[in-house]
Amino acid sequence: MKPSFSPILPMAPFLCSLLSIVILFYVSPTISTSRDPSLHSQPYKQTSFRVSLSHVDSGSNLTKFERIQRAMKRGQYRLSQLNAMVLATDGSSSEDVKSSVYPGSGEFLMKLAIGTPPEEFSAIMDTGSDLIWTQCKPCQNCYDQPTPIFDPKKSSSFSQLSCSSKLCGALPASHCRSDSCEYLYAYGDYSSSQGIMATETFSFGGNVSVANLGFGCGEDNEGSGFSQGAGLVGLGRGPLSLVSQLEEPTFSYCLTSIDDTKTSSLLVGSLDSNKIDTSKMSYKTTPLIKNPSQPSFYYLNLEGITVGGSSLPIKKSTFALNKDGSGGMIIDSGTTITYLENSAFRLVKKEFVNHVNLKVDKSGSTGLDLCFELPTGTSSVEVPKLVFHFENADLELPVENYMIADSSVGLMCLAMGGSSGMSILGNVQQQNILIVHDLSKETLSFIPTQCDQL
């Protein structure tokens, strides 16, 4: 069979700003919602709003290779944390505050406000975890943050959650002290947040206000993984997350090219409610799989991979979710590049070496596993097509979603790596694709989209 090639990859500047993204809220009509999240007596009103995304490190003084190396280090930490969550055993008890291990250091920051009157702050947005938390006074131990630490005594809408509340019961582990619900979230990089569970009014963009939203008021927070913001907002599938508490079944995001200065978007609510014309969109929809041992993650069923027209001989069990909760593949906004189970990645790597008629670079200078040397004066090069075959959805990736090239340093690299545990579809592979999470239908849709024109 004749090899299938993607469009010619131009030797544009190295697509290496594989780092965090700052989120600024731009919201449509004012919506105010109010309920006690622990009682489930009244549903939230549907909230729909759009979020503008921009790369947080676009103005940094880091060199291109420094950004690549930092991104790879962050991605490897993230991968080890996610695997640790799956392997962790439940050591909770009624007498001590204990916790499983959670992923930390997500790739996005979102600006929001908390309290009455509202105080603005930035928090990491993470689709790989659930709990919403921010640093609170009085701080026994807090890291430096760019905005003032939230003081609940100055807010008229702050209320502690009791130990009998449903959100307290939804914690993996909790401790009751004077009928106040205490929590501890520990992260794989040894960062952690500990404090009391409470409800507060959160404001998004100044126009969307959500009363009685459950969150962790962190009084003892350690580690450098969260220093870009003042806490974390979980968008996972568990009951503690923002989308679960809002009872909003649909959210989407659309990331522009990594080196693009134009903004990306995050949409909370359906595409129609966000005034997105879906009539000409081409959907490819795959089921979301549930992992009982890790119900917050968005698991997908990856059935195979094609490189250059060749279907790789990957065993069907390679990406399967095992009975003990290990293995499988998740889609994650907080991981930069895609990580494939090692046996599958070796086959992908071998096939790219067979198809790309360039010398393999063995310097390891980029932190990526497979790089090719570009001859002097090269203006373009052909690379093989890459297709991920998800259940009911064949996703053919644009070449810039998996190949990173820089003629000035003479390298072209595959933006993927190997994993000894679960596999992860990273955000580089998701750029210029509208990713739609529909939690009511339990599906995820890929919609090729020019994200800066959404």
Please list the active-site residues: 126, 332
Cβ burial 129-138 (10 Å sphere, 16+ → b, else e): bbbbbbbbee
Distance CA 454, CA 448 (A): 11
Please, is 376 exposed, middle or buried when counting C-beta atoms within 10 Å of its C-beta (0-12, 13-18, 19+)? Answer: exposed
Examine residue 117 and say whether the peptide bond preceding it is cis (omega within 30 degrees of 0).
yes
Place of tokens 């339990």: 442
Which tokens sit at 430? 């998701």
Question: Which residues is 180 bridged to in the sheet?
Answer: 162, 177
What count of other Cβ atoms lies within 10 Å of the Cβ of residue 23?
Answer: 25
Helices (H), 248-317: none
Give 357: exposed, middle or buried? Use CB within 10 Å, 0-12, 13-18, 19+.
exposed
- b or e along 432-445 (b: 16 or more beta carbons within 10 Å of the residue's beta carbon)? bbbbbbbbeeebbb
Query: For the chain, how many helices (H) and strands (E)?
Result: 4, 33
- Cβ-based neighbours of 141, under 8 Å, separated by 6 or more: 220, 221, 222
